[in-house]
Amino acid sequence: MSKILITGAAGFIGYHAALNLLKNGYGVIGIDNINDYYDVNLKYKRLELLNEESVLNSFNWEFIKADLVDKSYLMNIFDKYKPEIVLNFAAQAGVRYSLINPSAYINSNIVGFSNIMECCKEFKVKNFLYASSSSVYGGNSKIPFSEEDGVDHPVSIYAATKKANELIAHTYSHIYNIPTTGLRFFTVYGPWGRPDMAPMIFADAIINEKPVKVFNYGKMSRSFTYIDDVIESIRKLIEKPASPDEGFNKYDPNPSTSWNSYRVFNIGNHKSINLNDFISTMEKELGKNAIREFEEMQDGDVKDTVADNSKIINWIGDFKETSLTTGIKKFVNWYKSFYNSN
Catalytic (active site) residue 158: yes
**Shortest approach of ligand NAD to residue 207 CB, angstroms?**
21
Q: What one-character-per-residue DSSP string does 219-273 give?
A: --EE--EEHHHHHHHHHHHHSS-----TT--TTS--TT--SSSEEEEEES-SS-E
Catalytic residue among 97, 137, 158, 172: 158
CB of 152 to ligand NAD, least distance (A): 19
Residue type, 96: R
Which C-beta is closer to ligand NAD: that of 195 or that of 244? Answer: 195
Residue 249 has, within 13 A of its CA and on its CB side, a CA count of: 2
Residue 11 amino acid letter: G
Nearer to ligand NAD, 173 or 269 (CB): 269
Judged by CB, which is closer to ligand NAD: 95, or 212? Answer: 95
Cβ-contact 266, 145 below 8 angstroms: yes
Write the DSSP string, 314-342: HHHS------HHHHHHHHHHHHHHHHT--
d(CA 267, CA 257): 16
What is the binding site for ligand NAD (CB under 6 A)? Answer: 7-8, 10-14, 32-35, 43, 67-69, 89-93, 108, 112, 131, 133, 185, 187-188, 194
Q: How far is the CB of 187 from ligand NAD (least distance, A)?
A: 5
CB of 134 to ligand NAD, least distance (A): 6
Query: Judged by CB, which is closer to ligand NAD: 114, or 310?
Result: 114
Which residues are catalytically annotated?
158
